[in-house]
Amino acid sequence: ASAEADPLVASLCDYVKANDKNRLRKKLKESRVKLRQVYSGISCDGQSLLRTALTANATDAGEFVAKRLSVNELNVAETDGLTIQAWAEANGHGTSSIIAAVKERLGAGSGAEEE
């Protein structure tokens, strides 16, 4: 769902853009929604929540989102064919703490650390 069509999505997008992790967490809890269940269906101005967090430099909210997603979701290519990690590297966000959290999830999920 896009932010224009769904008030819940609009709120989640706004909280990520504002880097408001606490309100983001509260909104998900109030709505009885698990982030990993709805993440793939959320679009903020045509971008995923993680991309929105990266472009807004919303590190707290972005790390929160990254830590809530499954390894599979973090490896899924988005509409442009790039995974969140590849997109971040290509757009100058590779050193972001959000991407560090993504890499941490991917490393923990694979069972083997890559050197």
In DSSP notation, 78-95 reads -TTS--HHHHHHHTT-TT
Instruction: Find all residues with CB under 8 Å of 100, minimum gap 6, and list them.
Output: none
Burial class (CB in 10 A: 0-12, 13-18, 19+), 69: buried
pLDDT tens for 28-86 read 999 999 998 889 889 999 999 999 999 999 999 999 999 999 999 999 999 899 999 99
Confidence of residue 6 (pLDDT cuts 50, 70, 90): confident
**What residue ranges do the domains of the chain occupy?**
7-110
* Strand residue runs (E) in the chain: none
